[in-house]
């Protein structure tokens, strides 16, 4: 724990943690807080809950956080100010005697927490001019814990340098250095059609790309998994295939079941009943604009196969 003699100091640390949020502010064209932004990184770290510790003189602090999110903007953005509050709790103990099994007195320690010092701080962010793609959004958090105020990154499109201005009425000023790829937009590609041609025994699947212009010169990979819908039982997996395209406004795929990479263990015993099929599908971007994270789109409509 931190020493009480440090109670008047305010330290700035650069970390990338996912922290509990008690206040949230969204700005469509602006800035927001969260990690010592010298390095913009995704984080799945969970802060452990505060627990009472039965140690005389033990001190803990409550944590108060505000989250801010910012979309694209061609100008500097400054968030509104948000108040944060943190309370110190100190463990106090005393010893008394209680009767033992044979009536002899034995010492027993009782402990409790009492409020100590409290801190209030007004925080704000300013992000210097930077360029984001239309689907990108950054989010940050500022947290107050005792006398310490920290800035954390949730998601960021740039590596930032951070300058802290003021105490107790604090402005975190972020200056972009270089671009960092973010996840692609899940809603950037959507299904247009799923059909089956009984004469050629081919499935036709088509999807529309909302951001084809922005991804011009890069690749898009679409993966399809074919399933047969089985009533009152587990659906049967029939195979999968990945298609790679130059970025375009429309992607069209045509395939038979034999064109798919077949599963090792197909179970025809449960492959009975009405012949209805569907796809599970998703996509990923291949290039420098976005991460190549596979984005799951889920299940399509069912088509009847005769």
Q: Let me know if residue 68 belongs to a domain.
A: yes
Q: What is the mean pLDDT of the chain?
A: 84
Please tell me the predicted confidence (pLDDT) of residue 242.
98
190 in the same domain as 175: no
Residue 55 domain-assigned?
yes
Least confident of 16-20, 142-146, 218-222: 16-20
Question: pLDDT band for position 167 (50/70/90)?
Answer: confident
pLDDT the model gives residue 271 = 58
**Pair 32, 160 in one domain:** yes
Establish if 119 belongs to a structural domain: yes
- Greater confidence (300 vs 103) lies with 300
Last residue in a domain, options 146, 179, 212 = 179
Asked if residue 155 has pLDDT above 90, the reply is yes
CA dihedral 9, 12, 13, 17 (to 10 degrees): 100
Domain match, 163 and 229 both: no
pLDDT tens digits, 79-129: 999 999 999 999 999 999 888 888 889 998 899 999 999 999 999 999 999
172 and 23 assigned to the same domain: yes
Q: Say what the pLDDT of residue 30 is.
A: 42
Tell whether 69 and 93 lie within a shared domain: yes
pLDDT at 306: 83
Decide if 3 is inside a domain.
Answer: no
User: Is residue 44 over pLDDT 80?
Assistant: no
Domain boundary among 119, 144, 179: 179
Per the domain annotation, does 214 fall within a domain?
A: yes
Q: SS3 sequence, the chain?
A: CCCHHHCCCCCCCEECCECCCCEEEEECCCCCCCECCCCCCCCCCECCCCCCCCCCCCEEECEEEEEEEECCCCCCEECCCEEEEEEEEEEEEEEEEEECCCCCEEEEEEEEEEEEEEEEEEEEEEECCCCCCCCCCEEEEEEEECCEEEEEEEECCEEEEEEEECCCEEEEEEEEEEECCECCCHHHEEEEEEEEECCCCEEEEEEEECCCCCCCCCEEEEEEEEEEECCCCCCEEEEEEEEEEECCCEEEEEECHHHCECCCCCCHHHCCCCCEEEEEEEEEEECCCECCCCEEEEECCCEECC
Q: Look up the domain containing 40 and give its range.
A: 13-179
Residue 159 pLDDT greater than 50, yes or no? yes
pLDDT at position 9 is 35
Same domain membership, residue 41 and residue 175 = yes
Residues 135 and 55 in one domain: yes
Q: Are 90 and 139 part of one and the same domain?
A: yes
Query: In this predicted structure, what is the pLDDT of residue 267?
Result: 60
- Number of structural domains (the chain) is 2
Q: Are residues 19 and 151 in the same domain?
A: yes
pLDDT of residue 291: 97
In a domain, 260, yes or no: yes
Task: Return the CATH number at 299.
Answer: 2.60.40
- The more confidently predicted of residues 15 and 147 is 147
pLDDT at 163 (0 to 100): 96
- Domain end call among 141, 162, 179: 179
142 and 200 housed in the same domain: no
Residue 239 lies in a domain: yes
Percent of the chain with pLDDT over 70: 79
Residue 148 and residue 287 in one domain: no
Q: What is the pLDDT of residues 229-283, one digit of tens each?
A: 988 889 999 999 999 999 999 999 999 999 999 887 666 555 566 689 999 999 9
Within a domain: 66: yes
Residue whose token pair is 């997996």: 237
Residues 34 and 157 in one domain: yes
């Amino acid at each position: 724990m931190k020493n009480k003699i440090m109670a008047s100091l305010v330290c700035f640390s650069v970390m990338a943690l996912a922290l509990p949020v008690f206040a949230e502010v969204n700005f469509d064209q602006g800035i927001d807080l969260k990690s010592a932004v010298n390095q913009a990184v995704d984080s799945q770290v969970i802060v452990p809950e505060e627990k009472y510790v039965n140690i005389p003189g033990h001190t803990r602090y409550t944590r108060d956080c505000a989250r801010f999110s910012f979309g694209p903007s061609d100008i500097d953005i400054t968030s509104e100010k948000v108040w944060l509050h943190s309370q110190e709790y100190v463990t106090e103990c005393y010893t008394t005697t209680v009767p033992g099994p044979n009536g002899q007195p034995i010492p027993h320690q009782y402990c409790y927490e009492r409020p100590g010092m409290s801190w209030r701080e007004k925080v704000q962010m300013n992000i210097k001019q930077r360029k984001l793609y239309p689907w990108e959004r950054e989010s940050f958090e500022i947290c107050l814990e005792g006398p310490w105020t920290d800035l954390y990154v949730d998601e960021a499109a740039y590596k930032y340098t951070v300058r802290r201005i003021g105490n107790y009425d604090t402005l975190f000023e972020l200056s972009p250095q270089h671009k960092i790829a973010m996840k692609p937009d899940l809603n950037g590609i959507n299904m247009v059609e799923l059909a089956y041609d009984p004469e050629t025994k081919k499935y036709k699947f088509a999807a529309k790309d909302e951001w084809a212009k922005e991804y011009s010169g890069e690749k898009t990979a679409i993966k399809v998994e074919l399933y047969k819908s089985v009533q009152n039982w587990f659906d049967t997996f029939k195979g999968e295939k990945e298609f790679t395209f130059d970025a375009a406004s429309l992607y069209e795929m045509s395939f038979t079941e034999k064109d798919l990479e077949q599963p090792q263990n197909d179970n025809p015993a449960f492959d009975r009943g009405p012949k209805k099929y569907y796809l599970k599908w998703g996509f990923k971007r291949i290039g420098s604009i976005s991460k190549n994270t596979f984005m799951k789109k889920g299940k399509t409509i069912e088509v009847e196969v005769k």
